A and B are shown apart, each in its own frame.
Chain A
């Protein structure tokens, strides 16, 4: 097995060799058995028949029972058991066969017994004596990546055992680092130091991979490990890869598998606690019911569909505008979740005739209204369509849901609806007002759920940053002090389901998004994560606040108090209610204004119902034409400014290097805005679905 390259091949050869060794040992034991009994007479003539017979039978039994693999302690125990069982089976078989043989071919029961005993003793001894060396030989050595494990808890133990058991993963664990190690060895591997010793250890062992095994690892720890690793060169003169074991929830659902180790993701670096959802409160609303999701093809809508499908609804209606995205989610539900009780409903939420028909046909029990146009800058220059879709669409769906006797109508909203500075935010606030105005008017409960940014949503900041880094930069941010809340879509959606269950008629529920994150810091971290150095390899450019954008998202307006709910991550915003009768007149005006295209009327109505709305300057100066954002380069630290690699900072003309990526930057700025405001749902029409 010297030339063997792949661990898998090595293992097969090892097994063959072991089989041969076993066969020879077995034959030897059988051959010597008569000698031990003092019956050397059997060595003449046909006397050897019974040892040969026994050897063959034993081997047959071994093959049927499965060859012991002799590679770990567990396998040793299993190997011992299989030897005993095989010996017993072979003895019984030998006795039975002997009964049918002519008497001259029979040997005494003692011979068979001694053969069996000999085989067991012999093979067990070999197992104990030689297995360790076999084990070492079968482990891949040349190609395994020297690996350091961060942590020394149960997860570390499981991880190391799994790695040792599966040579094909080609890791070789050098040892563990832990600041508070409880033992000296972890699954046979030594504790080699503390987290701060990582650079030294990486250099010494030429470490190629660092795996964080603390399931509840705080983002601070992940960041610390990241920064220590990035500074050091290990195997092949490169910084080691940092990987992380899945979080608690994933661990609960799945045993540790090496295949589940993944690279550090941006969300690992965000400060947040895992979301706990009480299925017992959520399931009764969805199980065996007809559920409708508008904007089902969008990032939030499709995740809603995935989670709802898991709760076994009678029928899941996927309502949306873009057939491709609807088809995609339906396929995904069918293939990945084996959920087939879906129906695609192509409809525009503002088309009252269509929506009314859908509702009277299916009479859904719970309606999740996730359809909306959400891209702030796009909405800013497409006011009429945004009002039609976001406001009038919500109105149409709410009316139809109430008429059809739905139990719950859940409006997905955004923190941008609080003291809005954008048309998008104002339209969402007005949607909330519509939903609230239905309170106590119908048998349907109207619940609004408001949340902040979600990660990995289409057009969200992280994918944009990643793409910019891949393209060699620069990474564009709008302002160095920009702060945003972040949450993953599955987490946010889990909270939406919880909110649906505990929210009462007319309530606006707010998700606790964790701590706000500085966008500049996020950009720097992402660059670091990619193994590059901010400002040296990739520059960061500040493009300036865009129309409708805010530095800090407020989850609540200053007028709103907050009261708690039975769920620790959900709060009730005390919102002023507007009588539906008053609202109806405004909606009428909006409908007409949308038809005639009077933006000024629209802005006036928005201001009337959302007094905190501050329309962008462009609505006052040049209606309909958002001002172009100014760009300025972000000042970088002095010590790095001298670095010649700061390509984008050429000769103090920060804009110059950006020119050639104008389109990219534009788009990025668009998405960046959105990242700030990336909420919700897929627009029912709008951007690529």
Chain B
């Protein structure tokens, strides 16, 4: 802990920049991570691995207890890494914020959901910001990682901290550095994904960049937090818009009887000026469906309407209904009605190889199919059960030849790598594949209906 400034030291103010920098560099700085979920936990474990003393704060006491017994609930974190960090005492979780308030570096990884009206809900950022402000002392670095609208760091957090009388960039440091965690991505982890950092002042940037350089190979400094904030929201909007564009193409190709997947494969061969996106049953996860709303909401304050974002949202939201239409037509071809048809949905997770089903388009698809009277069951190796919005709990059924053969139609909504697609195609009566998961299956192609 840094010494509290004394009367003597006021003659020559303590250089908190170099003091904190050197603490960061020799790993003696104590790191606090607020919010130990998908973003915070991998970060905390990485920091503990390189030698920092790390405290993890979460309001969810169950998570805290799980961490403290070394139980890992995030697949992106290696079990052994977490266990080692916990057993060695380098990583301790707590529900008591005061432990975190004393850390030299505090990283905020709290969630930024939407309100029921699809407005940004930054109450978690505000609450944890208020806690930080209460404990704020000279020589601390505070980094916000939560995805949010541009301006949050300087318009929400900075005024809270400034109220205590400390001077940003001299006494304490504030920066925004967006998380870029891609759950389930084996190639790009926290360590080898470039990190953008924007500091409120140049000293803030200096300290924050130093901190991130300890565990991340490439750190990119940008002029201020707003650039960093906008970068993150743009990245996700970019994905949402491009996916929507491809989805729109898929709708058109369906009308024109053109294979969208063949088009995508062919277009992707162009070495420049194109980027591959795949159509699908809709978008899911915590970022892509949510983040554009943050930007659109903020834009309205500037009398600006983000038309692309709205349009993209509209098209992506229509995809589950298009999937229903596909299923309906497929059953119709076989002389069956959707009502009372037995449907087996493969994959609940919003993307492949992860256990996360929140905001997943598969939920929407199941919901509308069930509403039409279909008898829907599902299989997902990563999601043993889930509760739908009506409170009904659904259980994953084992993927057996009988289960496949019994279904009037098998609907692929997530292309988990471990699923044996040959086996699925071999036994299913007919398959609607919204992910082109069966692209490598050569037999019984006439039983596969692609999106």
Residues of A within 8 A of B (CB): 284-285, 287-289, 352-353, 355-357, 359-360, 365, 395-396, 399-400, 402-408, 438, 441-443, 445, 504-505, 580-581, 583-584, 587
Contacts and interface: CB of A to CB of B under 8 A. Distances in A.
Nearest to A352: B69
Most buried by A among B87, B382, B386, B398: B398
Contacts of B62: 399, 402, 438, 441-442, 580
A442 B384 CA distance: 12
A505 B72 CA distance: 21
Interface in B358-415: 382-387, 393, 395-398, 400
Contacts of A355: 69
A353 B87 contact: yes
B149 to A, nearest CB: 29
A210 B132 CA distance: 83
Given A365-B384, A402-B62, 20 more contacts: A289-B398, A355-B69, A356-B70, A399-B65, A399-B66, A399-B69, A403-B71, A403-B72, A404-B71, A407-B385, A408-B385, A441-B62, A443-B383, A445-B385, A445-B393, A505-B387, A505-B393, A584-B64, A584-B65, A584-B95
B71 A405 contact: no
A287 B403 CA distance: 13
Given A287-B398, A360-B72, A445-B385, A403 B66 contact: yes
B79 A285 contact: no
B60 interface: yes
A563 to B, nearest CB: 16
A587 B393 CA distance: 30
Interface in B62-84: 62, 64-66, 69-73, 79, 83
Nearest to B95: A581
A288 B72 contact: no
B61 interface: yes
A356 B83 contact: yes
Contact of B69 (A287, A289, A400): A400
14 contacts: A284-B398, A353-B83, A355-B69, A356-B69, A356-B72, A357-B83, A360-B71, A402-B62, A403-B66, A405-B73, A408-B385, A580-B62, A584-B65, A584-B95
B73 A403 contact: yes
Contacts of A504: 393
Given A405-B384, A407-B384, A352 B70 contact: yes
A358 B397 CA distance: 24
A539 B61 CA distance: 56
B73 A402 contact: yes
B384 A284 contact: no
Contacts of B59: 581
Query: Which 6 A-B pairs give the minimum distances between C-beta atoms?
Result: A407-B384, A403-B71, A352-B69, A403-B73, A288-B398, A584-B61
Nearest to A353: B70
A581 B61 contact: yes
A407 B61 CA distance: 20
Contact of B71 (A399, A408, A438): A399
B393 to A, nearest CB: 6
B313 interface: no
Nearest to B62: A441
Most buried by B among A285, A403, A408, A581: A403
A175 to B, nearest CB: 53
Given A284-B397, A407-B395, A580-B62, A443 B386 contact: yes
B60 A441 contact: yes
Contacts of B79: 360
Nearest to B355: A405
Nearest to A287: B398
Contacts of B382: 405
Nearest to A587: B65
Contacts of B383: 443
B85 to A, nearest CB: 13
Contacts of B64: 584
Contacts of A288: 398, 400
A617 B107 CA distance: 52
Contacts of A408: 385
A352 B95 CA distance: 19
Contacts of B87: 353
Nearest to B96: A585
B61 A580 contact: yes
Nearest to A504: B393
Nearest to A438: B62
A288 B396 CA distance: 12
A408 B385 CA distance: 9
Contacts of A587: 65
A253 B61 CA distance: 49
A292 to B, nearest CB: 13
A619 B384 CA distance: 45
B66 A284 contact: no
A117 to B, nearest CB: 57
Contacts of B386: 443
A292 B400 CA distance: 22
Contacts of A357: 83
A283 to B, nearest CB: 10
Nearest to B383: A443
A201 B225 CA distance: 101
Nearest to A364: B384
Contacts of A284: 395, 397-398
Nearest to B387: A505
A395 B65 contact: yes
Interface string B102-124: 00000000000000000000000
A329 to B, nearest CB: 25
Nearest to B399: A288
Contacts of B385: 407-408, 443, 445
Contacts of B95: 581, 584
Contacts of A359: 71
Most buried by A among B62, B79, B386, B397: B62
Interface string B244-279: 000000000000000000000000000000000000
Nearest to A359: B71
Nearest to B391: A504
Contacts of A406: 384
Given A438-B62, A584-B95, A396 B72 contact: no
Most buried by A among B73, B355, B382, B397: B73
B443 to A, nearest CB: 25
A152 B140 CA distance: 90
Nearest to B65: A399
A285 B66 contact: no
B362 to A, nearest CB: 15
B383 to A, nearest CB: 8
Nearest to A363: B384
Interface string B216-246: 0000000000000000000000000000000
Nearest to B384: A407
Contacts of B60: 441
A565 to B, nearest CB: 14
B385 to A, nearest CB: 5
Contacts of A365: 384
A426 B286 CA distance: 42
A405 B95 CA distance: 22
B271 to A, nearest CB: 41
A396 to B, nearest CB: 6
Nearest to B398: A288
B80 to A, nearest CB: 9
Contacts of A584: 61, 64-65, 95
Nearest to A365: B384
A569 B286 CA distance: 43
A403 B66 CA distance: 7
A618 to B, nearest CB: 32
A637 B387 CA distance: 62
Nearest to A399: B66
A289 B385 CA distance: 13
Contacts of A287: 398
A405 B71 CA distance: 11
Nearest to B69: A352
